[in-house]
Structures are given as structure tokens and as C-alpha cells.
Structure 1
């Protein structure tokens, strides 16, 4: 199973007045980590759009657990992997560590989405291509 890991520093703009990461910022971190994971597998968003006609993989559900606060200046490591594929949706599991401590754990459910054939302003779920499943090592 393909896992992507990267390190980032907590910036001042990520923090609330108490100097800890404002919780919605973690979702932005995890969205970026998902893009990095797909790119590592050879499927950056531009490639996905050109090859499969997909517009993206929007979030439809999120479960998170916060155990250790992160603060301005902390260096954190984010590990990301696809935990499960279903027909048109998949779960991405993220673990964010501050040092050796697990600070945040989240599972984000996303849907493989393309333009709706009757209304291009809407999205429609599509099956996740086998090539993507194989590249991410969950098949």
C-alpha cells in the first residue's frame, strides 16, 4: 500500500489567538497531502483530468481525532494513504505527528467525480479507475 509522508512547519497564519493550529487548517493540510499522494502514484490532478475526465475527488465525509495540540513553529510529519476503495468513493487516512506523538488522526471520504452529463454545473460520481487503484496499492 502506497504511503506518502512529508514534513511541514506550522506557520503563524495556521494558528488561532491561543497560538495553536486552528482545527480547519488540518483539513487543508490533509487535502494537500492527498494531492501529494496521488502525484507520487503518478496521478497529479492535471493528469487525472486529462486521462480520466475526472474533475476531482471532493470530500463527502470527515472523521478526526485531536490528541496533541500543535503550535506555531512546530515541525510536523503527515503520513497519508488510501485505506479503502469502494466503487466511486474512497477513504484516505491521515496521521499527523508532532515529534513521536500522534497529534491528529483523520479519515476523509472522497468521491471520484466528473461532470454530470445533463448539467455540467453539477458533479456525478464515477467508478475509480483500476489503474488508480493499482498505483495506490490497495488492490
Structure 2
């Protein structure tokens, strides 16, 4: 008789079904993608070139990396019910994760390391134009 997994009553070693995300989580993911698209469009309209979207490292994720002339901006996009709520959502812990991820990106793209570096935020809320906060935080301790 084959062994079974007591929790599922399926044969031991059988593949487990993929977890499905809750409707709230799916909606939040879609809202985030939409906000990032709006933020990228804003940056492009301001003359930036998008170098990377959703850059992931073990240290964290950078929503957008953009360049304008001699500047590279690492951009955190926050979508909330209000622009004020979005502004408060960029926590010090998250800032450090973005800084760490930026260092990883710069190691992979050393030709950009000599440019001016800046950490921006773009705040997105319903019925409002996105707000670009240049130099929203810095990498100094």
C-alpha cells in the first residue's frame, strides 16, 4: 500500500497544487502594475529613459530605474488611496532595501556608477496626477 500525506490524503511525493492568490492580492498586484506604468509614463514625459522595471535582488526590489542625462534615478512607486498615504508608505526599512538593491544593480552596471545617483518616489492615487518626489531619500546613514 502506497504512503499518503496525512494532510492531503494524496500519495506521498505527489505534486502539490499551486496556491491561488486571494482576490485582494490579485487586485493589489494589478494596482501596483498600473501605478508603475503611470509612473514610467510620467518619467518618459519628463525626458527620462527607463533602464529597468521591477529589478529584483535578494536584498529587495526597485520599481523603476531611469536615466536622464548624467543622472540615474532609482524610483519607488507607491499607490495608495491618497497621495499622503502613499508618501508615508515608503518606510526607512524599505528605503534601505532599495539602497541595497541599487548597489547590486550598480555592480551589474558599473558604467552607471560614475553618474549622479538619486532615490526618488512617485506617488499614485485615484483621481490625482502622479507626484514625483525627487531625492525622496538618500543613501547616507
TM over 0.5: no
Structure richer in strand, relative to its length: 1
Higher relative contact order (CA 8 A, sep 6+): 1
Structure richer in helix, relative to its length: 2
